[in-house]
Amino acid sequence: MKLAEYVIEHTVQGKKDIDMFFFKVGKKNRPTKEVFLDLVRKEYPNWLDGKEHSYIHIGADMDSQELALMTMGLGVILDVWNLLAPNTIMPFLPYELQKEMAGQGMVSIQYKEAQNE
């Protein structure tokens, strides 16, 4: 199974599990951290380097920014990485400014385990 297939099978838009700024992502069909991480390691190991990776970068890797955001959201739900977005790190800013920042690519993930290594 490919990561994209796993994400499509295990996520739903609109549920309130995690706010990805552009839309909310929820889980379905009992995804597991182990399977998710195994698929990421096989297809996109560079996402696990501890650096920030934006939805624009991940979207380029996956050929879809929507799928990138769903993947990022599932990873946050499964406690694989941290979400770095205007609404999570700068909630005090006006929404219009947060929206502009997000549109410029400031919605990113950072692999948690790399911080502990």
Question: Is the per-residue pLDDT at 21 higher than 90?
Answer: no
8 A C-beta contact, residue 47 and residue 53: yes
One-letter amino acid of 81? W
- Residue 40 is encoded by which pair of tokens? 């990421």
- Residue 25 is encoded by which pair of tokens? 């992502």
Predicted TM-score (pTM) of this structure: 0.89
DSSP 22: S
What is the tens place of the pLDDT at every residue in 43-69?
999 999 999 999 999 999 999 999 999
**The pLDDT value given to residue 115:** 53
Residue 106 CB: number of other CB atoms within 10 A? 19
What is the tens place of the pLDDT at every residue in 82-94?
999 888 888 898 8
Q: Look at residues 63, 47, 56 and name the one whose alpha carbon lies nearest to residue 22.
A: 56
Q: Look at residues 93, 111, 10, 14 and name the one whose alpha carbon lies nearest to residue 53.
A: 111
8 A C-beta contact, residue 25 and residue 18: yes
Question: Is the per-residue pLDDT at 25 higher than 60?
Answer: yes
